[in-house]
Each structure stands twice: as C-alpha cells, then as structure tokens.
C-alpha cells in the first residue's frame, strides 16, 4: 500500500509546483506587464536636426568595460571632425556596453561618460520644407547588466513603455514619418505594456521603420537579409556591425517614399547606387501615387556620366534621359536625371523590374536593379531564412520550447510511474530478456524499467520540479557592483540586496539548453544502456564524455560568476548523482 501511495502523492505535488512556477514567473515579469517594481531614469529627450546614428556595442568577446576602448572611440570622433557639426552624431548603447554594469549611475557605465548622447535614448525631428521626419532612439539594455553569456536579450519595462507611448502619441509633434532606432531587434527584445495596457504592436502603428543592430549578421549567411515587414505596416531593418562586417546604411526619402542601401566597406564599386537589390527597397504607399521608381546614384568628384541606360522588365526604355538637376556649385546640389514613362502600362497588380546602368567618362559602370509596383501593394521581400529568423520572437521560442518539453516529460514520467505501480505485471516489465520486435516496444519497455528503479525515478522527478520552483544557481551576476549577488531562476535574475528582478530571456535560453543536454540526453543515455549489454561499454564512454563536458561548462560558469555557481547549483547535484548512479555503477557492473 505504501509503495502505491507515494507515486500518487506526486500528483498534487506536481500541481503545486506548476502553480508556484506560475506565480514566480508573474513576479519576475511584473515590471513588464504588472505593477511597476522601480522607477528608473526619467525622460531625457531633445529635438535636433540632421544626423548620423550609431549603435555602439563595444567589447566583443569580453565581459567587462575597458576604458581604453572608450577613450579611443571618443578620440576618433574628435579627430574626424564629426563633433564639429552641431547635432550630427548620435550614439546609443548596445548590450556589450552594459556588460558588468550595475546601474545607469555606475562608474562602469562608460557610455554615460564617453559617448556623445550620454542619455538613455534620444528624440529629434528633421525639419524640411516638404515635411518633418522624427527619429526616436530607445535604450533597452538591462537596468543591471550581467556579464556574458547572460546578457543577450533586452527588455522595455512599463515606465519605458510609458515614455515611448508619450513620444509616439504626442499630438503636438507632426511628422511625415517616424523612425524608431534601437540596438535590439524586436526578436530579441521583451516589450512590456504601458500603464494603460498598450502593447508595442499598438504603438508601432505610429512608426514607419524600425532600425536596429545587435545580431552582427549572425553566421553562415543566416543574417545577410535580416529585414521584414511587420503586420502593423512598418519595416524592420537590422544592420550588420561596422567593427567586423564594416556595414553602414544610407537612407533616402523622396516624396515620402523611403529607400535605403546597406553598404560594406571598402566600397565594392564606384559610383555607389541605392538601392541595389529588391530586398533593399521600401516604399510607404498609403494610397496610389503617380511617382515613378526613384533611384539614387552618387556622383563622385571628377565624375561625369557619359551614358545612362534604363531597362524595364528586361526591355530597353526608349525614352531619352534628361538632366534636371542643378549645378555642382549650388549650395544644395541635386544631380537629378529623369525619363518620361507611362505608369498605366505597369498597373497590372504584378511586380516589375527597373534596371539603370550609368557609365561615366572614365569607364566606370554603376548598375541598380529595383523591383517596383504602381498599385498600393507591397512586393515580397524574399528574405529567406534571414526574414524568418528576424520575424521570430526568440524569447517566446525558448520559453515555449522549455515549457512544452518540461510538461510533456513530467506528465509522461508521472503517468508511466503510476501505471507501473498499479500494473507491476505488465509484459513490458516482466519480459526483460525478450527480444524487442519494434523500436516503440523497446523504448517503452526501457522507460518502464527506469521508472521501476526508485532512486533514478524520484531523483529525476524531484529535479524536474526543482528547476521550475527553485533558483538554478547563486552567483555574482554583476561583479562590479556591491549588490551584484543574486539568484538565477528560470524566469530571470533576482538580486539579493533589493529583491529586484531582471526579466532577461537569457534565463529561458539557459533552461532550454540545459534541459536538452542535462535532462533529455541523460534519459536517452539511460534508455540505451538499460538492459542491453551489447551497447553498454560503448555508451559508457559517451556518458563519461558528456559528464566531463557538462562539468567543464559548470566550471567555466563559476569562473565568470564566482565559485558559488559551482557549489550552489542544481546542475552540480544532478551531475554528481548521474556520475555516481549512472556512470560509476555502470562501470562496476
């Protein structure tokens, strides 16, 4: 009777654990969606004219701030002369710039001391005779920045969202377009709600383009075109970094049509043209407009075009090209070329292609290819895997993956244990030496055998409940701060000195990775070696390799966040148990 009662007690224990996990999660994200936990820096904005914007992200590969790099950056700006142009250069923090930074007022916040803006974001309007264009920069870095590797995601709390809402919904500021500038793509940023319950999707109806960085073009070509049209009719554009990929962006607005080009240094060719490919053209068309496709081609000093050819859908455009621009000597030099065309011929609801080739007197050739439409529809970006990746909510993916895997495994193990307890004579248990006819029979038989071993089952099951109801480890998450010690939960980081939460999605990523390599992998290993001596020796070796690898990862983590990480860590106890129960007993047997 006692043997059957204990597994049954696990049912309410599991339900209570899920309830506790739910409550802890909501406490962790209270600053995003619930009652404000703290009041951070107030609104600091300014209205300024034409500009260059840079999101910094210093110190790749390091987990702390280095003053020499900041002074080099400051000196480079001074020597270049860009600071002599009033209200021209704007910079904002990246996640690397808040590595090991305890707070905005910390001495380690070198951005506050050495940058140009020195504020948490900016807001300015470019005023032209034909309209006003607003640029809003937001700083979504963690309020306390842990060292890497847990400083990849950013977040925007209620107070931040209220300030953003105030800016975007300010009726006193009229703009033809509003550009939102951030370091983090939306895929890596947790947006909370305003105090009125507005989401970022609600606010994004008031922006035209969201420009960001952070991903450094990823790797293996996955981030070559991190651009996407969002459902609320704005375009998100990620830009590769200057440090490694030498990328910069030029954005042009003509008749409120927005075009852009991402260029890599050194320049691959002269003359430089924009936009060069269909993926890099964007037009805001609230209604049908009679304007033709507009292509910008730079005219370097000493260059004069000898020939300009236009091709529409592969056919030579037979109308002459005329120069309508003004003189180079004019203060506002505009090298404008025009050619007459009939837009009604292209109003068929399809994509069309225009190619412009320019040849200068020195024989240099510039070519630009643009896909365009004359109706009010958008062309597909065809960004492939890059468009798919930038369109994901990475935090939601990590969170959903962990929750689905955890709930599935927990329910399966509990159901199997209850079934085995009340059906001890099931053939899959009693026929231990029977040859398995199918993979499914083999898998379920070995699973039944595992849950029949009390030490293994109860240790595994309590570990599954512990990782959602207890801190995963204790560590000095921000070593530069006196209050840097905290609890690393699945749901975020909670500091000891004020119990404040950092709702970083990095913790969910950590949980998902550990669940795969520290839980699922161990179970699969046990399933393989259980009851099959043919595989035991070979897989014992793989088990030792896995054990050493995960132990090494724990040691590396302790070198970053302190020795508490190693000794006050659920993973340490789990791997010590597995090393004793799985590997050592397997070797002895």
State residue 273's pLDDT score.
55
Look at residue 144 and tell me whether its pLDDT is greater than 70.
yes
Q: What is the pLDDT of residues 156-182, one digit of tens each?
A: 999 999 999 999 988 667 889 999 999
State residue 37's pLDDT score.
36
| Torsion on CA atoms 104, 109, 113, 115, rounded to nearest 10 | -100
Look at residue 542 and tell me if it is in a domain.
Answer: yes
Look at residue 286 and tell me whether its pLDDT is greater than 70.
no
Residues 108 and 176 in one domain: yes
Look at residue 304 and tell me if it is in a domain.
Answer: no
Look at residue 44 and tell me whether its pLDDT is greater than 60.
no
Q: What is the mean pLDDT of residues 110-125?
A: 90
Q: Are 432 and 531 in contact (CB under 8 A)?
A: yes
pLDDT-derived band at 448, boundaries 50, 70, 90: confident
Look at residue 199 and tell me if it is in a domain.
Answer: yes
Percent residues over pLDDT 70 in the chain: 81
Last residue of a domain, one of 163, 189, 214: 214
Look at residue 218 and tell me whether its pLDDT is greater than 80.
yes
pLDDT-derived band at 278, boundaries 50, 70, 90: very low
Lowest mean pLDDT among 45-49, 135-139, 269-273, 409-413: 45-49
Is 258 or 488 the better-scoring residue by pLDDT?
Answer: 488
Residues 509 and 545 in one domain: yes
Q: What is the pLDDT of residues 244-275, one digit of tens each?
A: 788 888 888 877 888 887 888 775 555 555 54
State residue 287's pLDDT score.
40
User: Which one of 35-49, 276-290, 508-522 scores highest in mean pLDDT?
Assistant: 508-522
Residues 13 and 99 in one domain: no
State residue 58's pLDDT score.
56
What rounded mean pLDDT belongs to the chain? 81
Residues 123 and 22 in one domain: no
State residue 293's pLDDT score.
54
> Which pTM does this prediction carry?
0.82
Can you tell me the distance from the alpha carbon of 97 to that of 141, in angstroms, rounded to the nearest whole number? Answer: 9
Quote the number of domains for the chain. 2
Can you tell me the distance from the alpha carbon of 351 to that of 279, in angstroms, rounded to the nearest whole number? Answer: 13
Can you tell me the distance from the alpha carbon of 111 to that of 155, in angstroms, rounded to the nearest whole number? Answer: 18
State residue 439's pLDDT score.
58
Residues 572 and 438 in one domain: yes
Going by C-alpha positions, the residue among 207, 208, 196 that lies closest to residue 257 is 208
Look at residue 294 and tell me whether its pLDDT is greater than 90.
no
Q: Are 356 and 375 in contact (CB under 8 A)?
A: no
3-state DSSP assignment of residue 296 = strand
State residue 45's pLDDT score.
35
Residues 50 and 152 in one domain: yes
Q: What is the pLDDT of residues 304-338, one digit of tens each?
A: 656 778 889 888 888 887 877 777 677 776 777 78
Can you tell me the distance from the alpha carbon of 521 to that of 169, in angstroms, rounded to the nearest whole number? Answer: 50
Look at residue 71 and tell me if it is in a domain.
Answer: yes
- In terms of DSSP bridges, do strands 189-191 and 227-229 run parallel, antiparallel, or are they unpaired? unpaired
Is 381 or 558 the better-scoring residue by pLDDT?
Answer: 558
- Residue 127 is inside which H or E element, if any? strand 122-128
C-alpha distances in angstroms, 354 versus 340, 346, 492?
14, 11, 50
3-class secondary structure per residue, 169-207:
CCCCCCCCEEEEEECCCHHHEEECCCCCCCCHHHHHHHC
Q: Are 285 and 376 in contact (CB under 8 A)?
A: yes
Q: What is the pLDDT of residues 181-200, one digit of tens each?
A: 999 999 999 999 999 999 99
Residues 63 and 208 in one domain: yes
Look at residue 18 and tell me whether its pLDDT is greater than 90.
yes
Last residue of a domain, one of 180, 214, 248: 214
Look at residue 57 and tell me if it is in a domain.
Answer: yes
Residues 21 and 109 in one domain: no
* Own/partner pairs, 414-419, CB within 8 angstroms, 24+ separation: 414/7, 414/10, 414/11, 414/14, 414/461, 416/447, 416/448, 416/451, 417/7, 417/10, 417/451, 417/457, 417/461, 418/7, 418/8, 418/11
Q: Which domain does 104 fall in, by range? A: 44-214
Residues 423 and 490 in one domain: yes
State residue 86's pLDDT score.
81
State residue 533's pLDDT score.
64
- In terms of DSSP bridges, do strands 209-212 and 235-238 run parallel, antiparallel, or are they unpaired? parallel
Residues 470 and 580 in one domain: yes
Residues 19 and 93 in one domain: no
Q: How many helices (H) and strands (E) does the chain have?
A: 17, 24
Residues 58 and 13 in one domain: no
Look at residue 24 and tell me if it is in a domain.
Answer: yes
Which residues on neighbouring strands pair with residue 281, listed in sequence order?
Answer: 259
Percent residues over pLDDT 90 in the chain: 35
Look at residue 283 and tell me whether its pLDDT is greater than 50.
no
Q: What is the pLDDT of residues 336-350, one digit of tens each?
A: 778 888 888 888 888
State residue 539's pLDDT score.
77
Look at residue 551 and tell me if it is in a domain.
Answer: yes
3-state DSSP assignment of residue 357 = strand
Look at residue 277 and tell me whether its pLDDT is greater than 60.
no
Can you tell me the distance from the alpha carbon of 114 to that of 405, in angstroms, rounded to the nearest whole number? Answer: 45
Last residue of a domain, one of 214, 237, 252: 214
Look at residue 257 and tell me if it is in a domain.
Answer: no
Look at residue 292 and tell me whether its pLDDT is greater than 60.
no
């Amino acid at each position: 009777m006692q043997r059957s009662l204990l597994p049954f007690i696990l049912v309410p224990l599991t339900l209570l654990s899920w309830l506790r996990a739910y409550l802890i999660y909501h406490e962790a994200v209270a600053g995003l969606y619930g009652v404000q936990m703290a009041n951070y820096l107030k609104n600091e904005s300014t209205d300024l004219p034409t500009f260059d914007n840079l999101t910094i992200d210093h110190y790749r590969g390091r987990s702390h701030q280095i003053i020499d790099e900041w002074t080099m950056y400051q000196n480079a700006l001074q020597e270049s002369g860009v600071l002599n142009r009033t209200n021209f250069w704007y910079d904002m923090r990246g996640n690397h710039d808040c590595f090991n930074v305890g707070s905005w007022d910390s001495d380690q916040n070198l951005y506050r001391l050495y940058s140009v803006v020195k504020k948490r974001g900016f807001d300015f309007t470019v005023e032209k005779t034909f309209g006003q264009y607003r640029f809003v920069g937001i700083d979504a870095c963690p309020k306390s920045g842990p060292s890497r590797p847990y400083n990849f995601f950013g977040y925007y709390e209620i107070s931040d969202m209220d300030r953003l809402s105030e800016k975007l919904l300010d009726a006193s500021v009229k703009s033809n377009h509003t550009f939102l500038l951030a370091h983090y793509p939306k895929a890596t940023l947790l947006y909370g709600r305003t105090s009125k319950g507005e989401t970022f999707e609600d606010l994004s109806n008031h922006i035209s383009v969201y420009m960001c960085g952070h991903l450094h073009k990823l790797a293996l070509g996955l981030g070559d075109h991190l651009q996407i049209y969002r459902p609320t009719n704005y375009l998100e554009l990620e830009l590769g970094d200057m440090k490694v990929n030498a990328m910069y962006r030029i954005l042009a607005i003509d008749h409120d049509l927005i075009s852009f080009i991402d260029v890599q240094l050194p320049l691959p060719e002269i003359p430089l043209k924009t936009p060069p490919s269909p993926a890099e053209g964007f037009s805001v068309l609230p209604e049908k407009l009679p304007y033709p496709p507009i292509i910008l081609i730079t005219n370097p000093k000493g260059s004069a075009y000898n020939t300009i050819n236009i091709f529409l859908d592969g056919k030579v455009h037979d109308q002459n090209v005329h120069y309508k621009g003004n003189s180079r000597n004019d203060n506002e030099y505009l090298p404008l070329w025009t050619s007459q065309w009939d837009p009604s011929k292209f109003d068929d609801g399809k994509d069309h292609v225009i190619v412009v080739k320019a040849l200068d007197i020195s024989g240099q050739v510039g070519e630009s290819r643009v896909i365009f439409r004359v109706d009010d529809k958008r062309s597909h970006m065809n960004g492939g895997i890059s468009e798919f990746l930038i369109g994901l909510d990475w935090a939601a993916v990590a969170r959903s993956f962990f929750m689905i895997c955890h709930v599935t495994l927990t329910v399966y193990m509990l159901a199997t244990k209850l079934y085995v307890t009340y059906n001890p004579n099931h053939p899959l248990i009693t026929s231990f030496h029977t040859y398995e006819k199918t993979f499914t029979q083999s898998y379920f038989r070995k699973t039944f055998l595992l849950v029949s071993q009390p030490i293994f089952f109860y240790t595994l099951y309590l570990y599954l409940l512990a990782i959602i109801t207890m801190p995963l480890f204790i560590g000095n998450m921000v070593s530069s701060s006196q209050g840097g010690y905290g609890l690393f939960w699945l749901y975020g980081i909670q500091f000891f000195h004020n119990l404040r939460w950092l709702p970083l999605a990095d913790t969910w990523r950590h949980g998902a990775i550990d669940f795969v390599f520290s839980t699922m992998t161990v179970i699969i290993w046990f399933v393989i070696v259980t009851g099959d001596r043919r595989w035991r020796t070979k897989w014992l070796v793989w088990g030792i390799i896995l054990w050493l690898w995960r132990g090494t990862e724990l040691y590396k983590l302790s070198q970053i966040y302190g020795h508490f990480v190693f000794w006050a860590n659920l993973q340490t106890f789990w791997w010590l148990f597995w090393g004793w129960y799985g590997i050592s007993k397997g070797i002895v047997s």
